[in-house]
């Protein structure tokens, strides 16, 4: 009888010490991250109408600016949709979180590229592009860290399940 109680106590201790595999990140952190990513995308959509490609100093830059804005016009709604899908789930799966991150990163990459040569786009555009960049860069690193930790946790759970 005592041995049975010992094993029950040991099992309870182990169960409380091992994190649940189903939840790779604390839900509040994931929700905060997804909310911040959505806010960054909303911020870009507020800034985008103020970007005037005709202020660029050369024809090539004007065309590049127009193409960039068109690409962002496609990518921002895609990223918003994937982030919204994650937010609607009570426990977003690692793959859903990765897809949302990948879409967000595709937007960030375009904003990053444009921000490298802001002066020839004109002072007005430079300010707006810098604001967009600063909004995205703050969330991007956080997003990458959460996705990385979620994948590592899921791999650990998978490895424990195999043994």
Q: What is the Cα gyration radius of the chain?
A: 22
Q: How large is the average pLDDT for residues 35-49?
A: 92
Q: How many residues does the chain have?
A: 163
What is the C-alpha separation between 31 and 52, in angstroms, rounded? Answer: 34
Q: pLDDT tens-digit profile of 130-160? A: 888 888 888 888 888 888 888 888 777 766 6
**Rounded-to-integer distance, Cα 163 and Cα 110, Å:** 43
* Residue 1 scores a pLDDT above 60: no
Q: Which one has a higher pLDDT value, 130 or 21?
A: 130
3-state SS, one letter per residue, for the chain: CHHHHHHHHHHHHHHHHCCCCCCCCCHHHHHHHHHHHHHHHHHHHHHHHHCCHHHCCCHHHHHHHHHHHHHHHHHHHHHHHHHHHHHHCCCCCHHHHHHHHHHHHHHHHHHHHHHCCCHHHCHHHHHHHHHHHHHHHHHHHHHHHHHHHHHHHHHHHHHHHHC
Distance CA 28, CA 67 (A): 37
Q: Is 19 exposed, middle or buried (0-12, 13-18, 19+ CB in 10 A)?
A: exposed
Domain 27-162 annotated CATH 1.20.1440: yes
Share of the chain above pLDDT 70, in %: 79
User: Which residue matches tokens 């005592």?
Assistant: 2
With cut-offs at 50, 70 and 90, classify the pLDDT of residue 2. Answer: very low
Domain spans in the chain, listed from the N-terminal domain onward: 27-162
pLDDT digits (tens, 9 = 90+) for 49-77: 999 988 888 898 889 889 999 999 999 99
Question: pLDDT tens for residues 83-100?
Answer: 999 889 877 788 888 899
Average pLDDT (80-85) is 94
């Amino acid at each position: 009888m005592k041995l049975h109680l010992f094993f029950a106590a040991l099992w309870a201790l182990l169960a409380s010490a091992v994190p649940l595999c189903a939840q790779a990140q604390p839900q509040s952190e994931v929700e905060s991250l997804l909310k911040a990513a959505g806010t960054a995308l909303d911020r870009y959509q507020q800034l985008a109408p103020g970007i005037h490609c005709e202020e660029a100093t050369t024809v090539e830059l004007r065309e590049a600016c127009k193409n960039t804005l068109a690409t962002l016009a496609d990518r921002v709604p895609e990223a918003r949709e994937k982030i919204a899908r994650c937010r609607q789930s009570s426990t977003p799966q690692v793959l859903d979180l990765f897809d949302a991150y990948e879409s967000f990163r595709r937007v960030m990459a375009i904003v990053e590229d444009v921000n490298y040569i802001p002066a020839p786009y004109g002072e007005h555009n430079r300010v707006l592009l810098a604001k967009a960049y600063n909004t995205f860069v703050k969330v991007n690193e956080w997003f990458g860290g959460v996705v990385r930790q979620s994948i590592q946790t899921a791999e650990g759970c998978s490895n424990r399940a195999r043994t």
